Structure 1
Amino acid sequence: MDLIADILLVTGALGAGFYCFVLARRLTRFTDLENGVGGAVAVLSAQVDDLSRTLSAAREAAGTSESSLEELTGRAEDVARRLELLVASMHDLPGPAAPVDPAPRKTEDPPMGPVFSRRARAGTAG
């Protein structure tokens, strides 16, 4: 009986050893940096680094855009206030003006005395 128990014990130990050997080989292939999950983890780690850099660049660009948009919005609000004031002041003006004559009329000079009119025509002063 002891002999049968020893044979079964040795057989079980050899089976467990073989099972461990197979698991070790699978684990080696599983963690291989070229083809296995280890490679996938390495690739994903590199992608996370790239995405982190891209995200920080996008945050910087968004901050810059935010400040310029705030400045432009402030300027637009100022212009809108000025336009509102101009439109409000337009209500205070009288109705439409009379149409302007395209050909201005020549007005005659007021009559001058004989001395002043001769000097003005001759182009001499005084």
Structure 2
Amino acid sequence: MDIVIDLAIALGAIIAAAYCLLLSRRLRALTRLDGDVGRAIAVLSKQVDDLTTALRAAEQQNSAAGTALGQQITQAEAAARRLELLMAAAQTSRQNAPSHLEGAQDIPAYGTDHAAFAPMRPAAPRSQDDLRRRVIRQRDHAGASR
């Protein structure tokens, strides 16, 4: 009986040694860079580095574009304010136009007939504050009707 137990222990030790040898070979093949899996790991690692670099470059471009867009928005808002003032000035000059200019559609285009040109008398100069107040009033009125 002792011999059978010794043989079973020896057989178990041989099987364990063979399994350790097999695992050792697989681990060595996995860590080698010229193998398929090792090559794939190296390629993936390089791609992660490249993507990190590309992400940093995209973030820098995004911040530069955001800054440029902010400047363009500021310029557009200033232009919109100027246009509102010009529109208000045009409306007030149209309302204050003399009665003989009411039919301005009858006046031909420039260069066709100079005899039909009827000069307007110069309007009294208005201050910028009056125009701004009028634009603000119109803007508030338009915002209330929405």
Question: Is this a same-fold pair by TM over 0.5?
Answer: yes
What corresponds to 1:111 in structure 2?
A: none
Alignment partner, residue 41 of structure 1? 41
| Deviation at residue 3 of structure 1 after TM alignment | 1.4
Q: Percent identity?
A: 41
Which amino acid is 1:29 matched to? A
Q: Secondary structure at the match of 1:91?
A: helix
| Equivalence for 1:52 | 52
Question: Mind listing any 5+ residue stretches in structure 2 that lack a counterpart?
Answer: 117-146
**Does residue 83 in structure 1 map to residue 83 in structure 2?**
yes
Structure (1 or 2) with the larger CA radius of gyration: 1
1:31-59 deviations in Å (ceiling 9; x for gaps) = 22122433322211111111111111111
Which runs of 5 or more structure 1 residues have no equivalent in the other structure? 105-126
CA distance in 2, matches of 1:41, 1:85: 65
Q: Is the 8 A contact 1:31 1:39 kept in 2?
A: no
How many residues are paired up? 104
1:53-80 CA-partner distances (Å, limit 9, x unpaired): 1111111111111111111110011001
Q: What is the alpha-carbon distance in structure 2 between the residues aligned to residue 58 and residue 43 of structure 1?
A: 22
Query: In structure 1, how many angstroms separate the alpha carbons of the residues matched to 2:41 and 2:57?
Result: 24
Instruction: Indicate the RMSD between aligned Cα atoms, in angstroms.
Output: 2.1
Aligned-partner Cα distance in 2 for 1:96–1:27: 95
Indicate the larger mover: 13-22 or 34-43: 34-43
Instruction: Measure, in 2, the Cα distance between the counterparts of 1:5 and 1:51.
Output: 60
Q: CA separation in 1, counterparts of 2:68 and 2:29?
A: 54
Q: Which has the higher contact order (CA 8 A, sep 6+)?
A: 2
1:26 alignment partner AA: R
Q: Is 1:8–2:8 an aligned residue pair?
A: yes
Kindly report which structure 2 residues correspond to 1:1-126, keeping only aligned pairs within 5 A, or say none: 1-93=1-93, 94=97, 95=102, 97=104, 99=107, 101-103=113-115
Q: Is the 8 A contact 1:30 1:38 kept in 2?
A: yes
Distance 2:115 2:86 in 1: 32
Against the structure 1 CA distance between its residues 47 and 2, is the aligned structure 2 distance closer, same or farther, given a 3 Å change threshold?
Answer: same
Between the aligned partners of 2:55 and 2:86, the Cα distance in structure 1 is: 45
Residue type of the alignment partner of 2:57 = A
Shift of 1:103: 4.9
Moved over 3 A (4+): 95-101
Question: TM-score when scaled to structure 2?
Answer: 0.63
